Amino acid sequence: MSERVSGEEALIQGYLAPLAQGAPGAFGLRDDCAVVTVPSGCDLVVKTDPVVAGVHFLGDDPPEDIAWKALAVNVSDLVAKGASPMAYLLALALPEAPTDDFMRRLASGLGEAQAAFGCCLVGGDTDRTPGPLTLSVTAMGSVPSGRMVRRGAAQPGDRLLVLGSLGDAALGLRLRREPSLAAVWGLDPTDVAALVGRYLRPRPDVRLAALILKQARAAMDLSDGLVKDLGRMCATSGVGARIDAAVVPLTAALRRAVKAAPELLELVLTGGDDYVPMVAVPPAHVAGLLADLPPDAIAADIGEITAGSTIEIMGPDRRPMRFARSGWDHF
């Protein structure tokens, strides 16, 4: 067991301040507030989505992955709005004085994540808590003024696309809890590692922000499952949708699992933790979006926005699917 860190100052200056070096407005984490300068002609886009042990991650997930996820889930929301990440705050609530090893690993995961997403720690807070480990990130990004891509702007006739594969994290979490499922689902250790990896480290692709800003009429981050989040986009936009579950993009490992256990398709569509943008795009913009897509990115046209309020999800058997549970709700 490595030594415990003693004192808030040692914790902040020893482990977190190096993450703030690139941001002059962080003042080396030696002030009470941070300054963020929004580029002229831009709006600030903000999001806060805490991750809590036992709710959003497992208590024994590696600290570097917990840290990565805490930032990634917030950056993912910015990207889906067409915003470029700039800075973030971290409020860290620790159930006990952390060890040196824990803090090093946490900071290393944050460092990797902020390098991948192009943003910088600028401030935050550390507390002891009688509750579970909680990382509350507030992420800030910029979009040209008045241009944030809304959830509620979809129009009948728009094509509906997802910009990434779905279901990996939901299956990854199941596998992390019940490793024996790998055999049932016909997955080899490489598949399992890939799926668990998607659960541990969601990888929002910040390159998509510019694309979404340019081509999408409406957009949102898929985090509570496609079915539930599509319902939200439709309700807010006052529209319906018709999508085809058979064309939802799945990784090779996931296709194998769904082939072995077809009932897993429901988990793919409702399990959540995808952190992939869903966009409603005017038909005339689809070709442009696909043309601008980075070569290693995934996009699939899964259906269309319709008039009315009905959401129809066509199953692989060409019949509408019904769901026992549409997605994640805390209450």
Which spans of this chain sit near a copy of itself (rule: CB under 8 A)?
5-8, 10-11, 25, 27, 30-38, 40, 43-50, 52-55, 77-78, 80-81, 83, 89, 91, 93-94, 97, 122-132, 134, 136, 138, 140, 143, 145, 148, 150-152, 220-221, 236, 329-331
Q: Does the CA dihedral 108-113-119-125 come out positive or negative?
A: negative
- Closest distance to a copy of itself from the beta carbon of 218 (Å): 10
- Closest distance to a copy of itself from the beta carbon of 87 (Å): 8
Nearer to a copy of itself among residue 10 and residue 252 (C-beta) = 10
Report which DSSP code applies to 314. Answer: E
- Closest distance to a copy of itself from the beta carbon of 198 (Å): 20
CA distance 56 to 259: 28
Tell me the Ramachandran region of residue 242: left when phi exceeds 0, alpha when psi lies from -120 to 50, beta otherwise.
beta
Nearer to a copy of itself among residue 128 and residue 255 (C-beta) = 128
Contact (CB, 8 A) for 251 and 172: no
Helix axes 252-260, 168-177, angle to 10 degrees: 60
* CA neighbor of 298 nearest in space, from 257, 266, 260, 254: 254
* CA neighbor of 268 nearest in space, from 290, 293, 289, 243: 243
Nearer to a copy of itself among residue 77 and residue 274 (C-beta) = 77
- Closest distance to a copy of itself from the beta carbon of 188 (Å): 35
Residue with tokens 């390098």: 115
- Closest distance to a copy of itself from the beta carbon of 38 (Å): 5
- Closest distance to a copy of itself from the beta carbon of 221 (Å): 6
Nearer to a copy of itself among residue 87 and residue 253 (C-beta) = 87
Contact (CB, 8 A) for 157 and 305: yes
Nearer to a copy of itself among residue 11 and residue 265 (C-beta) = 11
Nearer to a copy of itself among residue 138 and residue 215 (C-beta) = 138
